[in-house]
Chain A
Amino acid sequence: MENNNKKSSVFYSYCLNPQIDFETHGEGEKIILLLRSHPFTQIGWILNSIFFFILLFISNFFIQSFFNLGQIFIINLFFIIFILSYVWFNILSWYFNVGIITNKRVVDIDLHAVIYKEISDAQLGKIEDITVKSGGYLQSLFDYGSIFIQTAGAAVNIEFNNVPHPTDAVQIINQLISKKHGF
Chain B
Amino acid sequence: MDFKDFLAAFSIQGINNIFFKTIMIVSAVSYFFYALVISKQVKTMDKTLQDKYNWVVLLITSLQVTVSLILLILAIFLI
Residue of B50, B51, B68 contacting most chain A CB atoms (<10 Å): B51
A residues less than 8 Å from B57 (CB atoms)? 92, 95
Give the number of residues in A that approach B within 8 Å (Cβ atoms): 28
A96 and B31 alpha carbons, distance in the complex (Å)? 22
The contact string, 1 if C-beta is below 8 Å from chain B, for chain A 77-103, is 110011001001100100110100000
In the assembled complex, the CB of B6 is this many whole angstroms from the nearest CB of chain A, namely 21
Interface residues on B, range: 20 to 34
B residues less than 8 Å from A74 (CB atoms)? 24, 74-75, 79
Interface residue? B42 (CB, 8 A): yes
A residues less than 8 Å from B48 (CB atoms)? 22-23, 96, 109, 117, 119
In the assembled complex, the CB of B45 is this many whole angstroms from the nearest CB of chain A, namely 5
Q: Is the CB of B38 within 8 A of A92?
A: yes
Q: Is the CB of A114 within 8 A of B79?
A: no
In the complex, residue of chain A having the shortest beta-carbon distance to the beta carbon of B46: A96
In the complex, residue of chain B having the shortest beta-carbon distance to the beta carbon of A66: B16
A77 and B71 alpha carbons, distance in the complex (Å)? 9
A111 and B57 alpha carbons, distance in the complex (Å)? 15
A residues less than 8 Å from B42 (CB atoms)? 92
Q: Is the CB of A115 within 8 A of B50?
A: no
Interface residue? A2 (CB, 8 A): no
- Interface residues in chain B, defined as those with a beta carbon under 8 Å from any beta carbon in chain A: 20, 24, 27-28, 31, 34-35, 37-38, 41-42, 44-45, 47-53, 57, 60-61, 64, 67-68, 71, 74-75, 79
6 A-B residue pairs with CB within 8 Å:
A81-B67, A82-B31, A96-B49, A109-B49, A114-B41, A117-B41
- Interface residues in chain A, defined as those with a beta carbon under 8 Å from any beta carbon in chain B: 12, 18-23, 67, 70-71, 74, 77-78, 81-82, 85, 88-89, 92, 95-96, 98, 109, 111, 114-115, 117, 119
